[in-house]
A and B are shown apart, each in its own frame.
Chain A
Amino acid sequence: DAMVIQNPRYQVTQFGKPVTLSCSQTLNHNVMYWYQQKSSQAPKLLFHYYDKDFNNEADTPDNFQSRRPNTSFCFLDIRSPGLGDAAMYLCATSRDLAGIETQYFGPGTRLLVL
């Protein structure tokens, strides 16, 4: 029944070692989002895809990249993780950007940087 799936659920990486987080959806939604949530903080939007169109938030560091090879999958690449990048990374989807569409969140990937 899972609609938004994230893998892995927990990821440990070393300082500076590239890491990729995965998100897939069975909802056939047009929009996929990546959020970063640090401990006891609100989720912060990093970027989103509307279909194949990529939209980066102005304050998202260059260290964070994303790919969406098809409707179902979206990846978050962290090129050189720093200690400050340790966080929960949440993927979300919505049918459209129209504002009335609920965002459905995946279970998240908790990233630890050693």
Chain B
Amino acid sequence: ELKVEQNPLFLSMQEGKNYTIYCNYSTTSDRLYWYRQDPGKSLESLFVLLSNGAVKQEGRLMASLDTKARLSTLHITAAVHDLSATYFCAVDRGKAAGNKLTFGGGTRVLVKP
């Protein structure tokens, strides 16, 4: 059974500093997604990582995937307040499992002035 772990579960950030969220998963997969969720809202797709070594960047966020290490990272550069949200990674279970997603537990990010 695929298990997905995110670290840390909670991250208090100072504006202007850099931080990294880690997503580890337990079985082979080469497809991983990052989502953002604001309180009481739905999930917004941030990145789709489809192969080993994939790197995607959008604004202050950069995501990467190392399928051999079964690890993805979400790097935040020069944090700003509007990045406060919960971030989820989700791993594709593979074709045999209907390409369904298993989500990590989420990392709640709070950016303080």
Contacts and interface: CB of A to CB of B under 8 A. Distances in A.
Interface of A: 40-45, 48, 50, 55, 90, 92, 97-100, 102-108, 110
Interface in B30-64: 31, 33, 35, 40-45, 48, 50
A90 B43 contact: yes
Interface of B: 31, 33, 35, 40-45, 48, 50, 88, 92, 94-95, 98-101, 103-106, 108
Nearest to A99: B99
Contacts, number: 51
A105 B103 contact: no
A106 B41 CA distance: 9
A99 B92 contact: yes
A108 B100 contact: no
Contact of B48 (A50, A102, A107): A102
Contacts of A90: 42-43
A42 B45 contact: no
